Amino acid sequence: MQVPGQNRVTPGLVQGSSFTGPSLLVPPYTIVYFPARGRCEAMRMLLADQGQSWKEEVVTKESWQQGQLKASCLYGQLPKFQDGDFTLYQSNAILRHLGRSLGLYGKDQREAALVDMVNDGVEDLRKRCGHLIHHNYEEGKVQYIQELPKHLQPFEILLAQNQGGQAFMVGDQISFADYNLLDLLLAHQVLVPGCLDTFPLLSAYVARLSARPKLKAFLASPEHMNRPVFGGRKI
């Protein structure tokens, strides 16, 4: 049943494309979000890279402002994520759920704790970026650019501490935090071109992860390319 105030569209990963899980006729996952990459692109990247299928329900600004859908959401905000009959809100809770479900949460408790630490660091920078984009872009961009290196440096350090920066942020397998960080770094390359030039490990990390075959195909797809990076500003 379609939720009032919500526009239903074709599945985000079209059946028969390289992004669709081969044995799934009905995608088990549904992403309900605005027509932007925003806080959902990391989970889309994760699902695509892991060969999972999902469908999108795109919410327009006009339908959201009607208030009916917003009132139905637990925190009055999107994204909303459905895994079958299981509904989740909060983007990081969704990523952690997918991490546990798909084996993307480290190989033991120690690695899981490090994955959480990395993801919390990503969230700190994402919040800073979101405040700039939505509240202080014209006045704050110069200062943001000046301060950005000190916020990127911890990730360069963490990479260096794990197999000399030649693998992932934690351990020897990709985690949900890698997808979240990759999404944020790609967004910053749009916002601040050249921002990774002084971070060789992060630059190589972005190139390495973006070249993973399924992820590369998703990043080149219209589903990804046609979405603005930030919903409130057409970047």
User: Is residue 50 classed exposed, middle or buried when 0-12, 13-18 and 19+ CB atoms within 10 A define those classes?
Assistant: middle
- Kindly give, in sequence order, each residue whose CB lies less than 8 Å from that of residue 72, ignoring residues fewer than 6 positions away: 3
User: Is residue 111 classed exposed, middle or buried when 0-12, 13-18 and 19+ CB atoms within 10 A define those classes?
Assistant: middle
pLDDT digits (tens, 9 = 90+) for 76-135: 999 999 999 999 999 999 999 999 999 999 999 999 999 999 999 999 999 999 999 999
How many CB atoms neighbour CB 112 within 10 A?
18
CA distance 235 to 232: 9
Backbone angles phi, psi at 175, to 5 degrees: -130, 170
| Domains of the chain, earliest start first | 109-212 (1.20.1050.10)
The helix or strand, by DSSP H or E, that contains position 36, with its residue range, turns out to be: none
Q: Which pLDDT belongs to residue 165?
A: 97
As a whole-number percent, the residues of the chain with pLDDT over 70 amount to 87
Instruction: Give the chain's mean pLDDT.
Output: 90
Residue 212's nearest CA partner among 28, 49, 66, 103 is 49
pLDDT digits (tens, 9 = 90+) for 146-189: 999 999 999 999 999 999 999 999 999 999 999 999 999 999 99
Q: Which pLDDT belongs to residue 2?
A: 38
Q: Are 103 and 57 in contact (CB under 8 A)?
A: no
pLDDT band for position 6 (50/70/90)?
A: very low
Q: Which pLDDT belongs to residue 133?
A: 94
